[in-house]
A and B are shown apart, each in its own frame.
Chain A
Amino acid sequence: MLKTKEVEFNYDNQMFFKFQNIDLNSNENLLIIGESGVGKTTLMHLLAGLLKSNSGSIKLFDKELNQMSSYQLDSFRKNNIGIVFQRPHFVNSLTVKENLQLAQYIANKNDNTRIESILKNLNIFEKSNKKTNQLSQGEKQRVSIALAIVNSPKLILADEPTSSLDDNNCSKVIKLLKKQATDFGAQLIVITHDSRLKKHFKKSIEL
């Protein structure tokens, strides 16, 4: 399902990253772990099609990302990938529900029952009509998970979802992510420096 080969990336000829090959089958989750500065975020952006590698190949769901145009990547992303960011971002002028409706609109979908079931599943249904800046930190994280899964992606990419959390919340969040992925039939790739997560994944690679 995901196969990378000799992927290299450099920022303005200053920072150079060469990533090890990844081979991930369907129905497998993956933990990518590494210290700061080894290019974790860069790798995640490459997998999400937000960056293009300088050389090598990234094959995701049998599509070669390096051969797609920026427009095709946007379209591929909205149909296949959900992203959970280290720090949750939202459209501030919209409510929780409207944020999810916007995500659906972008992917040409319109399914309020799905939004309701996701929010109920994440236990934040009663916050539907709140503006996102009225939410607590934990609620924000759950809304950002909801945003990542609302369009039924086949792959969820999570960037440092637990780095700022204590042990208790860390394990809660990662369990929640895994549960959501299983519930909605998606695979999960977590990229982190947080070694506490190792025990939650069968498969992991170290950068």
Chain B
Amino acid sequence: MNIFKLSIKNIFNKPLSSSISLALLVLGVGIISLLLQLNTLIKDQMDNNLRGIDMVVGAKGSPLQLILSSVYHIDSPTGNISLAEAETISNNRMVGSSIKILYGDNYKGFRIVGAEKKFIELYKGVIKEGKDWDNPYEVLVGSKVYEKLKINLGDELISSHGLRETGQSHDEGTFKVVGLLKPSNSVIDQLIITSPQSVWDIHETHDHDEHENEHEHDNREITAMLIKFKSPMNIIQFPRQINENTNLQAAVPSYEISRLFKLFGFGIETLSYLAYLIIIVSGFSLFINLFNSMRERKYEMALIRTLGASRFQLSTMIIFESLVLTISGFILGLLFSRFGVMFVSSLMEESINYNLNSLKILNEEYWLLGLSVLIGVVSSLIPAIQVYKMNISKILADA
């Protein structure tokens, strides 16, 4: 038996009031930690897919939409642009390298992207099985796609038009799987990639009503072009030139993404204020619990003193009781947030094929630990001082 064990026994002796304070703290810490984790994970994931892309050129429309569709592959494209115009831009002396990408079809909800081979290099894609495409209608399949749809080398995929599963299917559009990519933790994991020629071919042979343009060779179109500049300085001037002088749109991913984070950063901030409020309320509830239990337990505290325990030991017992609750609240809160991350991650994987999985402890979470300890000490301070100043003789005489 010792003072620490006694504190724990005391906590378990009052399971109801202890668990209310604990639950509030778990909720507060859990929400904050969940927000921190999600924010960091989404930011990491976004930055990870941004590598080497300084600017995206596509059809006029929302710049954010252009970025989301052609960098993150989660929104519809803004439209198509003509290949000839794209070529003019890629030949500009400020452009270091450019990658043309084309959309058109999907296979069971996964996008089929026509792209130059540089596209796979950009994301450091490595072929796990099979080989690169040589001919039209040959595809490489990203790791999440083949895992989820159980696609094997040599399978034939019949694509549907558009980006959703419900699109009309091309009877002639049968793709052959020639290679499987290793997981790269980037967007290519959730794509089916083929040569630009395949996408052009499939739409030429099958005339759609919604396609108004003639399918002549020099009228070929692409969806967007990913550009890397020769010098980072060009990022200021070049996009503006394109937006003002052509009927194309240029968008800078890093700028659009920080704008996006500002937009939902407001919601995150509000929610975290709420969570801090919950933590403070948990501190109050802890204080009230300790204060009440001190009154109920004044005879037993007097007894412990008459047994020879010092004032200091009794005060320590009170502070221990509070700290045990707040520290376990912190630990349970972190567990809560990790389950939250896994849950949100599974939701995101269902809807937009994104996967967030990292369970490391963030620096801000060490701050949360500090905050929990602080709440534990502060809420037990007044009860501990009262116990310290307790007049045992008076309490025992009143009995």
Contact = CB atoms under 8 A, between A and B. Distances in A.
Contact of A89 (B3, B299, B313): B299
B301 to A, nearest CB: 9
A42 B394 CA distance: 9
Interface in B285-332: 297, 299-300, 302-311, 313
A77 B313 CA distance: 15
Contact of B12 (A90, A93, A98): A93
Which among B1, B13, B311, B397 has the greatest number of chain A C-beta atoms within 10 A?
B1
Contact of A87 (B2, B13, B399): B399
A79 B308 contact: yes
Contact of A50 (B1, B12, B393): B393
B397 A89 contact: no
A51 B313 CA distance: 19
Interface string A79-97: 1000101110111111000
B153 interface: no
Given A79-B308, A106-B313, A147-B307, A92 B300 contact: yes
A139 B302 CA distance: 21
B306 to A, nearest CB: 5
A164 interface: no
Interface stretch (A21-29, A67-75, A179-187, A188-196): A67-75
A88 to B, nearest CB: 9
A70 B392 CA distance: 12
Nearest to B300: A91
Nearest to B7: A93
Which DSSP category, helix, strand, loop or mixed, fits chain A's interface?
helix
A98 B303 contact: no
Chain A: interface size category: 20 to 34
Interface in B358-399: 392-393, 396-397, 399
Interface in A17-59: 41-42, 45, 48, 50-51
Nearest to B298: A89
B260 interface: no
Contacts of B399: 85-87, 89
A103 B307 contact: yes
A154 interface: no
Which among A41, A50, A85, A87 has the greatest number of chain B C-beta atoms within 10 A?
A50
B333 to A, nearest CB: 26
B346 interface: no
A101 B9 CA distance: 13
A162 interface: no
B6 A91 contact: yes
Nearest to A76: B308
B296 to A, nearest CB: 9
A102 B307 contact: yes
Contacts of B308: 74-75, 77-79, 106-107, 151
Contacts of A90: 300, 303
A105 interface: yes
Nearest to B13: A93
B395 to A, nearest CB: 10
A139 B12 CA distance: 24
A92 B306 contact: no
Contacts of B6: 91, 93-94, 102
A103 B313 CA distance: 13
A104 interface: yes
A154 to B, nearest CB: 14
Given A90-B300, A91-B6, A94-B9, A106 B397 contact: no
A58 B223 CA distance: 99
Given A74-B308, A102-B1, A106-B307, A45 B300 contact: no
Given A89-B302, A98-B1, A105-B1, A41 B307 contact: no
B304 A106 contact: yes
Nearest to A105: B1
Nearest to A101: B1
A105 B396 contact: no
Interface in B12-27: 12-13
Given A45-B396, A74-B310, A104-B1, A92 B13 contact: yes
Contacts of B300: 89-92
A91 B305 CA distance: 12
Nearest to A80: B308
A154 B311 CA distance: 23
Contacts of A101: 1
Nearest to A78: B308
Contact of B304 (A45, A75, A102): A102
Contacts of B306: 48, 50, 77, 83
Given A41-B397, A89-B300, A98 B305 contact: no
B10 A51 contact: no
Given A50-B393, A74-B309, A105-B3, 6 more contacts: A78-B309, A83-B306, A86-B399, A87-B399, A102-B304, A105-B1
